[in-house]
Chain A
């Protein structure tokens, strides 16, 4: 378990202080994938670096499995760090070492004997799917392959925690998905706690169970990914959720809305311009007694009427009433799909 208690980090001189992290309290449980999302400058990179003490906090405590990190001496800290793997946006591999040698580096640091190192690295190379590339240099690998080496290296000493600092930010969408799947696999197979720092909502959505939203050095919202997706409260959270919707395809959006509105009925209305008038939704609502909410709408007015798509959420109604509602819209030349 990782406990962060009122963590603060102040950078800069006495005249000009920057509060990168300004009082963060957070508990991350064993075996979960926890996402910390925020825009750049929110303080999330500084926060994750305080977990393994790459940054010393100005105030507050970092406690991992009951051990107070800032109280450890240098030697204890180094041995504790061997049980916390870390992966980076720019991979941070040594160009002077081959794939295998890069993966063996943390084992060398830990004083693992040569034969054990090579046995372990063979195992890890297989695990991250880099068989056959063990003698390549990083310069000969693609971004996704480099991150696989980074992941293997981070797992070499069998850590209980894996910190991921924007590990997919330098990768294309397909590669990002592959790397996320690999991380999820590792989490399931090895039970490693993963802390994901990211500015990509898709990343959190794909593999995290719980998440925190960070802005200006503080956590503005925290909860399960489902909760925050369905009911974002804070402005920043809403922007992240909105952002996902903007970039999503129609199918992805439908999936997401279904997740967000599990009960009732979801309708997608497509307006093609030949509607009698633009009050079609209002007139349909008048025919039924259940509440209707417009959850997403993208309608453009034109001289021929309205064009675009609207998503409606119907709830607390019977199937018969739903049918009356749908029929009313269909009569008004609206294309209706039940999601």
Chain B
């Protein structure tokens, strides 16, 4: 049973986890927000009601959310190869992480938008606002706290996914915990990795809560 801890290895792993989490969170937030706006606006009685588009996007989002992450990793190997050129390393983990987190976050955005008081949207229409103005000046600012806390929740679940991706070769703390902590029975590595992952999750949660508190004037 090993107990040694390679400090450089640990730092690299932390960096890889942080990189995978925040890069994929960044893209998933943008794509998810856009898809969320699309879903919200095309729904029945929405700003640009469009049943067909709404139905198609809705099905894609549901299917992607239904596929377990580990299977998605394997299914997306061709896509990852085409985009990144390899299927190993932190960069290679980004496409499956983004594809998995985007529909999750899109769904949270739809919920956030649905919580915006319909009355304010009606009032904006009565004031002669265009749909674009309603989205940018009313819908997004009014949904902001939920949009931010959605990013935090998505970020936290992404930390979990990076660990899973790590286990099959993407690097990061998950990889470290699996390869050294589990396979080589190095408990020091196992517990250290775990504690750091928990700390990263706490940090995301804390940052999210602080930001929500700052923007929420309700």
Interface: B68 (CB within 8 A): no
- What distance in Å separates the Cβ of B120 from its nearest Cβ neighbour in chain A? 5
| Given known A-B contacts A90-B119, A92-B119, A95-B217, A81 and B144 have beta carbons under 8 A apart | no
Q: Residue of B at shortest CB range from A89?
A: B119
A96 to B124 CA separation, bound complex (whole angstroms)? 14
Chain B, range 124-164, C-beta contacts under 8 Å to A: 124-130, 133, 137-138, 141-142, 144
Other-chain contact of A96, B126, B129, B144 (Cβ < 8 Å): B144
A81 to B126 CA separation, bound complex (whole angstroms)? 6
Q: Residue of A at shortest CB range from B140?
A: A96
Which A residues are CB-close (under 8 A) to B137? 105, 108-109
- A106, B122: Cβ atoms under 8 Å? no
Other-chain contact of A86, B117, B126, B215, B218 (Cβ < 8 Å): B126
Interface: B63 (CB within 8 A): no
Interface size on B, residues (CB 8 A): 21
- B138, A94: Cβ atoms under 8 Å? yes
Other-chain contact of B128, A90, A110, A153 (Cβ < 8 Å): A110
Q: Residue of B at shortest CB range from A109?
A: B129
- What distance in Å separates the Cβ of B68 from its nearest Cβ neighbour in chain A? 38
| Given known A-B contacts A94-B138, A95-B142, A105-B137, A139 and B217 have beta carbons under 8 A apart | yes
Which A residues are CB-close (under 8 A) to B127? 81-82, 86, 105-106, 109, 153, 157
- A109, B133: Cβ atoms under 8 Å? yes
Interface: B82 (CB within 8 A): no
Interface: B123 (CB within 8 A): yes
- B141, A88: Cβ atoms under 8 Å? no
- What distance in Å separates the Cβ of A281 from its nearest Cβ neighbour in chain B? 54
- B141, A78: Cβ atoms under 8 Å? no
- What distance in Å separates the Cβ of B69 from its nearest Cβ neighbour in chain A? 35
A59 to B125 CA separation, bound complex (whole angstroms)? 22
Interface: A216 (CB within 8 A): no
Which B residues are CB-close (under 8 A) to A93? 120
Chain A, range 64-95, C-beta contacts under 8 Å to B: 74, 77-82, 84, 86, 88, 90-95
Q: Residue of B at shortest CB range from A110?
A: B128
Most-contacted residue by chain A among B119, B123, B137, B138 (CB, 10 A): B123
Most-contacted residue by chain A among B120, B126, B133, B138 (CB, 10 A): B126
- A81, B217: Cβ atoms under 8 Å? no
- A54, B128: Cβ atoms under 8 Å? no
Q: Residue of B at shortest CB range from A150?
A: B123
A54 to B144 CA separation, bound complex (whole angstroms)? 26
A94 to B142 CA separation, bound complex (whole angstroms)? 7
- A84, B126: Cβ atoms under 8 Å? yes
Residues of B within 8 A of A (CB): 117, 119-120, 122-130, 133, 137-138, 141-142, 144, 215, 217-218
Residues of A within 8 A of B (CB): 52, 54, 74, 77-82, 84, 86, 88, 90-97, 105-106, 108-110, 137, 139, 153, 157, 163
Can you list 27 A-B pairs, Cβ within 8 angstroms, ordered by A?
A: A52-B126, A74-B130, A78-B129, A81-B128, A82-B127, A84-B126, A86-B123, A90-B119, A92-B117, A92-B119, A92-B120, A92-B122, A94-B138, A94-B141, A96-B141, A96-B142, A96-B217, A97-B141, A105-B127, A106-B127, A106-B128, A108-B137, A109-B124, A109-B128, A139-B217, A139-B218, A163-B126
